[in-house]
């Protein structure tokens, strides 16, 4: 495990090669196995492999442009009504996804959306919610 932690880096330049379904399923399984407070599992995951949607999501905030070149993005959502520590639970899931990606030889990088702006009048969270059709009761981590 320590070797994995030493190797893991935030990668912001990706190959355009599509991931096979088995790899995507492994990432999904790892995310769903993430620990959460009291086992409430308040998170949900939106897997995005459509290059046009990834390009739109890359505009969500300053510094997210590298998503445009990715083969896959996983948006982490959480329901605050399920757990008051949804931020921590979503962060744990993101970390598990990073480590799993590294273990599979994939690059990854977290794009912070919560408390960030898309424009002066629209938050990054509102923008992502609009692009993906996310219900109001869920937060974008």
- Kindly report, residue by residue over 56-113, the tens digit of the pLDDT: 999 999 999 999 989 999 999 999 999 999 999 999 999 999 999 999 999 999 999 9
When divided into structural domains, the chain yields a total of 1
CATH number at residue 35: 3.40.109.10
Average pLDDT, the chain: 97
Mean pLDDT, range 16-27, rounded to an integer: 95
Confidence of residue 1 (pLDDT cuts 50, 70, 90): confident
Q: Give per-residue pLDDT as tens, 108-131.
A: 999 999 999 999 999 999 999 999
For residue 70, give the nearest of 84, 49, 47 by alpha carbon: 49
Print the domain residue range for 81. Answer: 2-140
Q: pLDDT value at position 15?
A: 85
């Amino acid at each position: 495990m320590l070797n994995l932690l030493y190797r893991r880096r935030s990668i912001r330049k990706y190959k355009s090669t599509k991931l096979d379904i088995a790899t995507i399923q492994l990432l999904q399984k790892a995310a769903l196995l993430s620990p959460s407070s009291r086992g409430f599992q308040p998170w949900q995951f939106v897997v995005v492999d459509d290059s046009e949607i990834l390009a739109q999501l890359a505009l969500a905030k300053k510094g997210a442009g590298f998503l445009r070149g990715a083969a896959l993005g996983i948006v982490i959502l959480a329901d605050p009504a399920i757990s008051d520590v949804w931020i921590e639970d979503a962060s744990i899931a993101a970390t598990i996804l990073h480590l799993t990606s590294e273990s599979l030889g994939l690059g990854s990088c977290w794009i912070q959306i919560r408390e960030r702006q898309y424009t002066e009048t629209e938050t990054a969270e509102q923008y992502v919610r609009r692009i993906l059709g996310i219900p109001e009761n869920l937060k974008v981590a």
